[in-house]
Amino acid sequence: MNNENQTIHKSDDNLTIYGWNEKLNQLKQESIYSALAHGRVSIVHRTCYEVISGNGLFQCELTGNMMYGKSDDELPCTGDWVIFQPFDEHKGIIVDSLPRERTLYRKKSGTVADKQAIASYVDKAFIVQSLDDNFNVRRVERFMVQIMEENISSVLVLNKADLEFDRQSVEEQIKHISSQIPVFFTSIHQLETIVRLRKSISEGETVVFVGSSGVGKSSLVNALCEKPVLLTSDISLSTGKGRHTSTRREMVLMDSSGVLIDTPGVREFGLAIDNPDSLAEVLEISDYAELCRFKDCKHINEPGCAVLEAVNSGVLDYKVYASYLKLRREAWHFSASEHEKRKKEKSFTKLVEEVKNRKANR
């Protein structure tokens, strides 16, 4: 993180701009470590964490209990509020973390039911797409589903609006999305578009940027902050696109405004949701589904299916319907696998407790 962002805060009052509030303070009082310092994780470097506190920026590591006693998705992520024991000059040991809220997850690559925490205590998520060959409305739907699952507000940011593109075609493809969430057309070369986006961010609000590599997330963050707070790379001469720069989730502060979290670009964003039924509402299929003859209609080949009737009549876009079926299968698979994993973990925990009891009774 740049020195400009390593602001030294003299009291907890200054942490309010990072989102600290009375509710968090009450949660801290419930911890056995309530007498220690607290702060918010701004960057995660594998086993090292940068924590912004009321007394400055601390480089922290985890206690053994936290490192080995928690699953990967429970370990601190960018945006988490943690309690730590300071030692030496601006170094510390994280001993506890406050319960998470509004956490953006994704399914961990190469696994069936494991998930990865991307950022926590998020108020808004900017889904960034670029108006070039990267534009993919199906990817937007995927992000929207996961974001709304955690009660985080979604915003679609269509970046690189200075390029030539068919606006009418784009607006037609996203009409089922723009009816639900705000949409911004932006370009770092068009100041008025950045100003409009900046006005949508309130003081103390945390906004996470998600999207594929090369869509310009880091450049947008720099433009919103009006200074270079994140590294960016030059445009590739061979592809005409920005090269992927971000390799970690990093939190920066906008002057007199909100908190921004940049994330590395992802090729794959697997769903990690427990309620596959929520897909119908996000993709605007629920209104049709309520009219189906059968309450447990799967919308595939059942008689009296209002969803299929809407597709056949052209009222519901077939591509949106196909995306719904694909995402529902993926969400159901994760949910079922997660349920089975929890069942096994519960059985294992019960077995361990029985062994401990036997030893204690000898």
Which residues contribute to the annotated binding site for Zn(2+)?
Answer: 292, 297, 299, 305
Residues 120 and 246 in one domain: yes
- Residue 81 CB burial class (10 angstroms; 0-12, 13-18, ≥19): buried
Residues 120 and 235 in one domain: yes
Residues 246 and 173 in one domain: yes
Residues 258 and 308 in one domain: no
48: β partners: 45
Which tens digits make up the pLDDT trace of 283-318?
A: 889 899 999 999 889 899 899 999 999 999 999 999
Report yes or no on 139 lying in a domain: yes
Tokens of 178: 């723009």
Residues 110 and 250 in one domain: yes
Which residues contribute to the annotated binding site for GTP?
Answer: 159-162, 211-219
Residues 145 and 91 in one domain: no
Report yes or no on 270 lying in a domain: no
Which residues contribute to the annotated binding site?
Answer: 159-162, 211-219, 292, 297, 299, 305
Residue where one domain finishes, among candidates 97, 120, 153 = 97
Which has the closest alpha carbon to 99: 151, 31, 44, 15? 31
Rounded to 5 degrees, φ, ψ at 302 are -75, 145
Residues 149 and 216 in one domain: yes
CATH of the domain at 85: 2.40.50.140
* SS3 state at 49: strand
Report yes or no on 267 lying in a domain: no
Low-confidence stretches of the chain (pLDDT beneath 50): 1-10, 234-244, 246, 348, 352
- pLDDT value at residue 281: 82
Residues 201 and 300 in one domain: no
Report yes or no on 269 lying in a domain: no
- Tally: H helices and E strands in the chain: 11, 13
Model's pTM, two decimal places? 0.81
Report yes or no on 57 lying in a domain: yes
Residues 181 and 318 in one domain: no
Q: What residues make up the domain containing 147?
A: 104-262
Give the count of domains, the chain.
3
- pLDDT value at residue 149: 85
Report yes or no on 208 lying in a domain: yes
Residues 203 and 166 in one domain: yes
Report yes or no on 268 lying in a domain: no
Residues 34 and 127 in one domain: no
- pLDDT value at residue 273: 76
Report yes or no on 271 lying in a domain: no
Q: How many residues does the chain have?
A: 362
Residues 300 and 334 in one domain: yes
